Amino acid sequence: MPAPKPILVAFDGSDAAQAAAATAARLFPQHRLVVTSVWEPGLAVAMATPTDATGIGYVLPTPEEMATMDRAQRDHAADAAERGARIARELGADAEAYPIADEAKVAETLADLADQLDAEAIVVGSRGLGAFKAGLFGSTSRHLLGETRRPVLVVKAPE
C-alpha cells in the first residue's frame, strides 16, 4: 500500500494557524504534514518611502538593504514554519517545516505548492475577520478555495 499523500498546512504564527497545525495533526495522523510559511521577496522595494509630500518620487533601497530585508523575511518564514511543525510533532505528527517565497499571491503560492507536493488536502487557519474586513483586506482561505481543486480545511481561530 503506497504512503498517503502529504497534507499542506499554511502557517503564519497566528492563533488560527496554530489551531490549523494542531487540527491537521489530529485529523491526519497517517499523513506527513508539510507546514509552510510564505515570505515575500522584494518587500523592501514595496516599502520604499516617498521623497516628498506629493508621493511622486521614492527612495529605493540599496541592493544591500534589499538583500537584508529578503534574508530577514526568509528567516522569519523559516522560524514560523518550524514553530508550526513543532506544534504538529508535539501531537505525534510527522511534520516538516517548508518556508517558501511568494511568487504571486499567497493563495496562488499555496495552491501551486500543494500541486507540486500532490497534497491530499490543504489546511489553513481563518482569523474570522468578518465580512467587512475580509472583503476589504481579502482572505487567504477564501482565495485559496478559488485557486485549487484540492480539499481545503479552514480552521477558525479559537475564541
pLDDT in tens, 85-134: 999 999 999 999 999 988 778 899 999 999 999 999 999 998 755 544 44
pLDDT at 100: 93
Answer whether residue 2 is part of any domain.
Answer: no
The pLDDT score that the predictor gives to residue 132 is 42
Q: Which residue range is the domain that position 125 belongs to?
A: 7-156
* Residue 41 near residue 31 (C-beta atoms within 8 A): no
What average pLDDT does the structure give for the chain? 83
- The answer to whether position 27 is within a domain reads yes
Residue 96 lies in a domain: yes
- Rounded to whole angstroms, the Cα distance separating 153 from 157 reads 13
**pLDDT confidence of residue 94:** 97
In a domain, 1, yes or no: no
| Residue 57 resides in a domain | yes
Burial class (CB in 10 A: 0-12, 13-18, 19+), 86: middle
- CATH label of the domain that carries residue 30: 3.40.50.620
Q: Does residue 134 form part of some domain?
A: yes
The yes-or-no verdict on residue 74 having pLDDT over 60 is yes
Query: How many domains does the chain divide into?
Result: 1
Burial class (CB within 10 angstroms; exposed 0-12, middle 13-18, buried 19+) of 112: middle
Can you give the pLDDT at residue 81?
96
